[in-house]
Amino acid sequence: MSLKKNLLLATLLFIAQFTNAQCWNLVWEDEFTGTSLNTNNWSYQIGDGGWGNNELQFYRNGTNNLTVGGGTLKIIAREESHMGANYTSARIRTIDKSDWTHGKMEARIKLPIGQGIWPACWMLPTDNVYGGWPHSGEIDIMEYLGHQPNIAHGTVHYSIGGSHNFVGDSYTLPSGGYNDAFHTFSVEWESGAIRWYIDNILYHSVTEASLGISPWVFDEDFHFILNMAVGGNWPGPPDATTIFPQTMEVDYVRVYQQLSEIEITGNAYIQPADVSEEYSVPLISGATYNWTVPSGSSISSGQGTNTIDVIWGTNSGDVICQITTTCGTEEITHFVEVTTNFFKNPSFEDNFINWNAPTNGGAANFSITTTSPQEGLNAAKVEVTATGANPWDIQLQQGSLTLEAGVPYDLSFWAKSETAGLTFPVAFVKNQSPWNLYASQNFTTSLGWTQYTFSFTPTVTDNVLFNIDLGSNLGVFYFDNFSFRVTSALPVELGNFTARPSGAKEVLLEWFTYSEINNNYFDIMSSLNGRDFKVIGSVSGAGNSTDLERYYFIDKEPKNGINYYQLKQVDHDGKMTQSEVLAVELSSIEKMEVYPNPVKDELVIKNFNGGMVRIINVTGKILFSDNLNASEKITLDVSTLEPGIYFLNTYQGVLRFVK
């Protein structure tokens, strides 16, 4: 066998093994079975201006340029005058509706034909974590030039050293053109590699090593775009041979993922005691789902399905979904921070997620720096290389903040610049045209980190954008640690008031608040019948605080039987607020015992009230730890313990035994 045949056989074997190792789950699809565009999946982009490529069309919405029917989506390019352009077409995308990090992205499309016709199925980053195009990347699943009907292209765009770079390849049909029939275009996209396929034939691939970029910017959320351009730098304009209208017909768009690639969608930043927030994973045929949420929060609906509603307490933590399919079982986690700060990702620890970096004029490079941040590991760096006509032509922005009329707010943030004395305004503006200005203030930078503050009370209730306008000065700016809160703390809110046995004859009560005003002290009250309460102790309050405040109290003289507890919060003005009533059963505390003692292989715990059980040796090392249910008799395997003295530690006390 020749060397070439050996290499071909090895390549085919590798591809077969790689394909078999994949286990794809269909997590999203649009089969275009209706009679109109599904706006839960797609939104239009409207306008002209060349779109960065000197294109000639005006992108419109409506059935003149996009229709759905007969099981397909049709994007139609027409030769007609509209808003100063001589051609019209359509461009749609899934941004802010659906996006993904990694997976198999697939579309079945029949393409148009003609000089100057330029359809594409492609993906852009949703959050521009590494800055505006091309710094955060672009994945072109399919591009096609209408004057070359038998050739389709796959390309990836990125930057090296701040300059645009791209790597692509093409696949030529052995016969016929892409305009004759539907063909399937797909990419398999994973951490460190992207592969392009046409009709399941691999024709192009890139890796992190082959591109020579670090970090691999394609580990962030991307969204779909479907469009058909007319003219532009690559195909050139239409000519006398071009026939209009031309149609790009899409049979379906699908996304498959491996279980390890699936993400939970839902807010990652929650106000304390939020009434209900939705969290979901894709609906996978035949899958089972099991959810858990942080302590102090609860699932109000949806357990066992792909979507749950969570009633939040005040504890940050992981929302976890365990998914089981024919591919196996995977545990997906989504960390949620419970905070009174309205800004999401306020210190850029998640790069530019939840931040936007629009440049409507001028030029700037947006990046994350790990060198001497003010707080945490990251800070934002903005290098303005060309000023704009207006300060707002270059912005660092966070959107969808709700202002309430008559409520006082405090904004604070840290900033510095490499040249002192650079000025910039911050502004809160309406989140859509006509962009009403609700509050603003100008600031001047220093060479070192400086905290800036701004307080205001809006006169209207509205959804707003927060903008830092950087279009007026050349230079390098740094930003970190943003905070935007209600000036006055909310009245005291009790969180997670608990009571449990602690030690042989004690009860531990714990609670916390996430904000207090005018709070003087807490009275701890006890009762044996749940009605007649008396004060058994007091704990001083924080007075006024927007921070999480934790409290505890130990009842050292509980009675055998059921003890009832209630918390009373007393303000400086005498106002009182009472908590729920908790009950603690103490009847079996003194009866808990272990036997046999000395023990050989099995240790029995009698009359256990439930909770954490630990076995600890004389040096303090924990040899066993588990959270066990209450039971009259629990048996533990201690056969592996070395001879010696040990301690059984529970909420009911500490018992000594010998092996």
Catalytic residues: 138, 143
Identify each DSSP E strand in 340-490 by its residue range. 363-369, 379-386, 395-403, 409-417, 423-430, 437-444, 450-456, 462-469, 475-486
Strand partners, 38: none
Cβ–Cβ under 8 Å, residues 205 and 195: yes
Which of helix, strand or coil describes residue 5?
helix
The residue assigned the tokens 């996304």 is 255
Cβ–Cβ under 8 Å, residues 297 and 367: no
Cβ–Cβ under 8 Å, residues 340 and 514: yes
Which of helix, strand or coil describes residue 507?
strand
Cβ–Cβ under 8 Å, residues 650 and 594: no
The alpha helices in 535-628, defined as continuous H runs, are none
Cβ–Cβ under 8 Å, residues 186 and 109: no
Q: Classify strands 363-369 and 379-386 as parallel, antiparallel or unpaired.
A: antiparallel
C-alpha–C-alpha distance, residues 488 and 309, integer Å? 29
168 Cβ neighbours under 8 A, 6+ residues apart: 140, 153, 154, 155, 156, 204
Q: How far is CA 219 from CA 102, 188, 304, 341, in A?
A: 7, 13, 29, 27
Which of helix, strand or coil describes residue 595?
strand
Which of helix, strand or coil describes residue 18?
helix
251 Cβ neighbours under 8 A, 6+ residues apart: 31, 32, 71, 72, 108, 109, 110, 182
Cα 130–chain centre separation: 16
Q: What does the H/E/C string look like for 194-260?
A: EEEEECCEEEEEEEHHHHCCCCCCCCCCEEEEEEEEECCCCCCCCCCCCCCCEEEEEEEEEEEECHH
C-alpha–C-alpha distance, residues 641 and 301, integer Å? 45
